[in-house]
Structure formats: structure tokens, C-alpha cells
Amino acid sequence: MSASDIVDKSAEGRTARQYHIGVAPGEISSVALLPGDPFRVPLVAEFLTDVVEVAHNREHRTMTGWYKGRHITATSTGMGCPSTAIAVEELARVGVSSVIRVGSSAALQPGIEPGDLLVSEGSLRNDGTTAAYVHAGYPAVPDTLLTARLAAESARIAEAAGTRSHTGISASDDAFYAETPEWIQQLAGMGILNVEMEASAMYVVARLRGMRAGMVCACSSNLVDGASLYSEKNRALKDGWMRSIEAALETAVALEL
């Protein structure tokens, strides 16, 4: 075996149908909304016209359509940073230049209700994936202009629905069931707004690949107020998902992403 025999994954398949997401150049738009769950991709499609299902491979489902004159893509990332990094890498290879995560996230500050919107201004990198990409001190931050617009659209949409929108620093964890009460208390004590599992990888990979990224999630539960994931209050969550999708779509139109 010589050095010339070793595969350079960063150079492989750049002009081909992508191995994991199953999408080829020319099949999707320049902006992609990124829910985690493949079964939430059709929720994005409910807002779109002329919808086409482009691919569904593993946890990655992709649909495209049109919203107020903009061509829009929705691709699911699956759960966690590893699959999110793969999705963002492969979307970049097929021409996507902006990504907006729309999903669920648990609140860490008192008074935030299930269904409220949560706009991320940056992520605490408590994951292993981004450590493989960058120095431990490298920040996981979204695009400033995109985030400001997301915050404005989210506030407008939430107010019209009689709910609220919040902005702040999020945290990205790897292990859902390893989030102990002690860890939750520590995050809350640092003023972290919410915790989820994908944003840090999306932000870091997007920065490295010259993409714009942002995130607006619906609050699924409040881990410091006792509104758990399994509470009946979670009936508000789907409405929150739909408001997060609308905020992301309106941002894509306003910024011509």
C-alpha cells in the first residue's frame, strides 16, 4: 500500500449522485430546510407547490417545490451530528449554499412553553463530530444576517399565533439519554436557551464549505420547568414545527437564498 492508494474522501464523488442522500447536481435548489426526521419533510412540502420527491435513502429524504417564487429543498438529516455532517457535506457538493435547520429542541430556561420558537445564535459543541473537523476552540455559529432575519420572522409569526419566539445560545449533545439532571442544570446555569443534537455540526461544516446556516426550532419540552417530552402539552409541538417551517421559508424568500 502506498500513499497514492489511499482514498481521499474529500475529493470523491463531487460531480456524482451523492452516496448517502441520493441526490445529484441539478436536482435541487440553492437553499435547503433541514428537519431531522424524514417524516417531517412532507410537513415542509405542505407549504410548497409543484412538489417532487427527489430521493429517500436511509435517514435522508429530499423533496423540492416552490414557495413564493423561490425554489426550495427539504432534506432530513437524521438524528445527531454524524448524519447531519454527512447531509450538509453532500448538499454542498450538489449546489446548496444555504441551510436552515427546522426541528425540535428542549428548552433550558424557565417560562418557555412547548410550541414556542427557539432561534439559535450559536451552539455549545458537546459533540464528537465537530472535534474531527476543527480545533476545540473553534466556534459553532450561524450566519449573522440569516439568523437576524430568522429571529424577525419567528417573532412575527409567533406573535400572530399567540405564542412566543426566543433567541439565544443552544447546545448540541450527542447522547439523548445521557443528559443527566446535573448536566441540564449546568447548561441552564450558563444561560443556554435550549439543547438539541444537530446544530453544531451544521454550523461548523457550513462554515468550512462556504455555506450560510441558521436554525429555528419548536420547543418540544422544557427540561427545567418539568414540561417533559411525554407531556400532553406536547400537542402544541406540531403547530410549533409548522411555524418554524414558515419562518424559515419566509427568510429564504426575503434573503433570496
**In this structure, what C-alpha cell is assigned to residue 119?**
432561534
Per the model's pLDDT, the better-predicted residue between 114 and 233 turns out to be: 114
Contact between 224 and 109 (Cβ < 8 Å): yes
Q: What is the C-alpha to C-alpha distance for residues 116 and 154, in angstroms, rounded to an integer?
A: 10
Instruction: Please indicate, yes or no, if residue 14 is contained in any of the structural domains.
Output: no
The pLDDT of residue 15: 82
Note the pLDDT of residue 230: 60
Residue 1 belongs to a domain: no
Please name the helix (run of DSSP H) or strand (run of DSSP E) that holds residue 248, with its range, or none: helix 237-254
pTM: 0.96
Let me know if residue 9 belongs to a domain.
no
Domain presence at residue 149? yes
Q: Within a domain: residue 158?
A: yes
123 - beta bridge partners? 140, 170
Distance CA 201, CA 198 (A): 6
Q: In the prediction, which pLDDT does 232 show?
A: 52
Q: How does DSSP classify residue 112? A: P
Contact 233, 113 (CB under 8 A): yes
Structural domain total, the chain: 1
What pLDDT, in 10s, does the model give residues 39-71?
A: 999 999 999 999 999 999 999 999 999 999 999
Task: Show the domain range for 232.
Answer: 19-254
- For 65, the grid coordinates are 417545490
Lowest mean per-residue pLDDT among 82-86, 122-126, 220-224: 220-224
Which CATH number does the domain housing residue 46 bear? 3.40.50.1580
pLDDT for 104 beyond 90: yes
Given a cut of 60, is residue 233 above it in pLDDT? Answer: no
Three-class DSSP category at 72:
strand
Question: How confident is the model over 153-182, as a mean pLDDT?
Answer: 97
In a domain? residue 85:
yes
pLDDT value at residue 2: 72
Summarised one tens digit per residue, pLDDT across range 184-217 is 999 999 999 999 999 999 999 999 999 999 999 9
Determine how many CB atoms are found less than 10 A away from the CB of residue 40. 20
Residue 94 belongs to a domain: yes
What cell was used for 117?
A: 420558537
Sorting pLDDT into bands at 50, 70 and 90, what band is 134? very high
Instruction: Answer whether residue 11 is part of any domain.
Output: no
What would the pLDDT profile of 6-30 be if each residue is shown by its tens digit? 888 888 888 889 999 999 999 999 9
